[in-house]
Structure 1
Amino acid sequence: MARNWAGTYEYTAPRIIVATSLDDVRRVLAGRGRVRALGTRHSFTDLPDTTGTLVDVTGMPPDFALDESAGTVTVAAGTRYGVLAHWLEEHGWALGNMGSLPHINVGGATATGTHGSGDANQVLSASVRAFRYVGADAEVHDVRRGDPDFDALVVGLGAYGVVVAVTLDVQRSFRVRQDIYTGVTWDAVLGDYDALTGAGYSVSVFSRWDTDTAGYVWVKTRLDADDDPVPDVLLDAVRATGGESPLGVEDNVTELAGVPGPWMLRLPHFRLDAEPSFGDEIQSEYFVDRALAVDALNAVRALGDDIRPHLIWTELRTAAADELWLSPAYRRDVVIIHFTWLNHPDEVAALVARIEAALEPFGARPHWGKRHGFDRIAIERVHPRLADARAVFERLDPAGRFSNAHLERLGVREPR
């Protein structure tokens, strides 16, 4: 049976069709029954699943199209970010940010509000300038930034059609270095969180919720010149001179130790030519208003002793606000609290419930594609435009062909 990339979710759809062209997608939609798009299978839930047909769009050719005057690139939705990034670098262009895994596909990542890191960097979805999808009528539809439904549809969870191409904002190529700082304490992190997250173009804290020590700080510095200086001390952490990874998997991470390199080989944590992360894992993630970051982190710290036995790593990141209705950063700068769990499903489910209870006073929004326990009431509480987005999806797909149990459980689509 087909599973997600980590092997921790098994798809129940009776049919998976690999599309290699737009006509393949249209043929599926010309038939009957429910349909969902399937990408690089990085969801940890039944979000992409269906009782009908899964259309795997990763077999469609990238069809790169760079418009230098507009500052955009158009690419097939099933294309991996890392593949797009290498093509852009060859042509002297770059994406503003990337997720930690370059293996994720453009359509799936933008449809779920997936992100990189950086105080001034928005989630990946915010770079979408336009997109093309096949609707329930089997016709091709184009949507552009500024169109009436655009802000509802970009983070659209596949709820209204199969996205086949995406146009993204791009900029001129740039260079980045990565440095690891060790020994940062919670007192320092919580005492000056702005100084910590503002220390680079992209900053992550890797933690196991130890009592005193927060963990490692992974700083990605955007360079004007390869010999730009970086500090040896960050708060009470010291810059490591070796290339050891805080993730403990040095054979699959991008180059560390301050070695300058092109953006697409530094902004992701993991290398495109290697297996990402740890595998056999479960992931959860929550987005909290940055203004509430310290209190939210302290609430999770109180659970640290119970979290550690089932945790591989927590990663703390930031993202800037946007205007996309179902974005986890909709109209608020956020701190992002990520958990990579051991494959302990029962224990993780219990911990997720406790973490969500601890974060409820702070209006935490879950990552759409990762394990969480939210229902329709809880999602409506933290996503103020949910009803508006649902109305758009219902109008575009009145028969619910792109709906599924997951979307109906969360109130993204109406029950059928």
Structure 2
Amino acid sequence: MVDVERELNWAGTYGYLAKRIVRPESLEEAAELVAASDHVRPLGTRHSFNDVADGPGLLVDLTGLPTQVEVAADRRTATVSAGSRYGVVAVELERQGLALHNMGSLPHISVGGATATATHGSGLGLGALSSAVAAVEIIGPTGALRTVRRGDADFDGSVVALGALGIAARLTLDVQPSYRMRQDAYADLPWDVFLDHLPEVFGAAYSVCLFTEWDGRVREVLLKTRVPAGADDVPVPDDLLGARRLPPRAPSDWSTPVDGTVGAWCDRLPHFLISGTPSNGSEIQSEHFVPFGRGAAALDAVAALGDRIRPHLHTAELRTVSGDSQWLSPTQGEDVLCIAFTWRKHPEQVAALVVAVEEALAPFGQRPHWGKMSSLGGDAIAALYPRLPEFRDLLDREDPDGVFRGPFLERIVRP
């Protein structure tokens, strides 16, 4: 067992209040720690920008355990260790001729932490990372391990669970045969054209991401195109509704290739390489999910704040995720448009801007990302999640003594 000294999140914007942060050397040791503790919270790769992973007692970090990827005999699922980083899991799946349906922009995040907070990639028809979970093994408050499988009564409340039910030890993920992709970038899509053609733009490739500074244009459209099995390549347009295709980018030590070349899915779906360091953490992030069908109006509402936003913004990324049935998923019930802000590290100004953005998006029923900055309190969150009462009942059954409670859960989920 290793006591971890570093007590800040990845961006250095949040300091954990827990008494101890411990990195067990085995799942058995983790179970013993839980059984012997009054208050425990699971801690992943520290990519959250709030206190969702914090607690008053012990934080248990499983990211130091060896990565395990066990492929089922039918090759339709793979069971992986929850502390493993997506990029490492992806490379091993590719080595075995398999793939995930989706990945987040950052492959350094842990499987357990990303699925517990409903983290996602982008693509019309592509679910969040949690939608690929077929089973989750959880260390409960007594240290006992239990497994919840797709189809079980409580399954939809047990994957996106914010660590409130216990420590995810292993997850079984849906996999598919490996596939190849290419990335191409397009510049300067006019804002009005974009708003008039949202389904066409986001449907232009397997996965589509857009970047804007809220200055009357989409600065860049990034198409991640899936190459059909058996084909050497796939044609892409030179013009996308007036946006011009950019020439190939020079290779980078931190970003995946955006040069039109064809490569493995795990080298094209994320924005960043697992072997590189994409950021020094000089940022704050917030992200807001709105119904895709109301996306154009929601984007215009945020664009009206552009003059206030730009001095404190690195960039904003626009993505889509398909709806699911998981109780606490921001995509529960319908397809969504994700409006993600990477802010400069200006804490006071950004806090005020997050309030303004959430007020502008309130008429659209915006749901914030669980692991990023938000101004919403428990009453506002409760109004956005119709299945929250069922989740609270599940917590009362599985953790009646509140072993896995923390300040975020007390304030937002379980007041």
Q: State if a TM-score over 0.5 links the two structures.
A: yes
Separation in 2, partners of 1:351, 1:125: 29
Q: Which residue of 2 aligns with 1:397?
A: 399
- Which residue in 2 is equivalent to 1:157? 162
Which 4+ stretches in 1 moved above 4 angstroms?
none
Instruction: Identify which range, 113-122 or 64-73, moves more after superposition.
Output: 64-73
Partners of 2:57 and 2:220 lie apart in 1 by 45
| Corresponding residue of 1:292 | 294
Q: Distance in 2 between matches of 1:251 and 1:96?
A: 25
* Whole-Å separation in 1 of the counterparts to 2:232 and 2:17: 50
Aligned to 1:242: 248
**Residues of 2 paired with 1:76 and 1:402: CA distance?**
20
In the other structure, the counterpart of 1:267 is 269
User: Which secondary structure state, in structure 2, belongs to the residue aligned with residue 298 of structure 1?
Assistant: helix
Q: Which runs of 5+ in 2 are unaligned?
A: 1-5
CA gap 1:244/1:317 in 2 versus in 1, 3 angstroms: farther
- In 1: Cα distance, 2:376 partner to 2:48 partner: 16
Of residues 220, 226, 248, the one that matches 1:216 is: 220
Offset at residue 388 of structure 1 (A): 1.1
1:111 alignment counterpart = 116
Q: Deviations over 1:198-249 (max 9, x none)?
A: 0000001111110x2221000000002232111111111011112169xxxx
Corresponding residue number in structure 1 for 2:371: 369
Q: Is 2:229 aligned against 1:229?
A: no
Aligned match for 1:11, one of 8, 16, 26: 16
**1:394 and 1:413 in contact (8 A); partners too:** no
Distance in 1 (CA, whole Å) between partners of 2:75 and 2:234 is 31
| Residue of structure 1 in register with 2:3 after alignment | none
TM-score (ref. length: structure 2): 0.96
Give me the whole-angstrom Cα distance separating, in 2, the residues matched to 1:178 and 1:113: 25
Matched to 1:381, the amino acid is A
Aligned with residue 308 of structure 2, among 277, 302, 306? 306
Deviation at 1:262, TM superposition (A): 0.1
Contact 2:313-2:341 within 8 A present in 1 as well: yes
Q: Secondary structure at the match of 2:22?
A: strand
**What is the rounded CA distance, in whole Å, between the counterparts of 2:218 and 2:307 in structure 1?**
14
Taking the aligned partners of 1:121 and 1:33, their CA distance within structure 2 comes to: 39
Number of corresponding residues: 408
What CA distance in whole angstroms lies between the structure 2 residues aligned with 1:70 and 1:274? Answer: 30
Distance apart, 1:378 and its partner CA: 0.7
User: Using the alignment, how far apart are the partners of 2:233 and 2:78 within structure 1?
Assistant: 31
Whether 2:102 is the aligned partner of 1:97: answer yes
Report the 3-state secondary structure (helix = DSSP H, G, I; strand = E; otherwise coil) of the residue aligned with 2:54: coil
Structure 1 counterpart SS, 2:408: helix
> Which residue pairs with 1:187 in the alignment?
192
User: Does the residue aligned with 2:15 lie in a helix, a strand or coil?
Assistant: coil
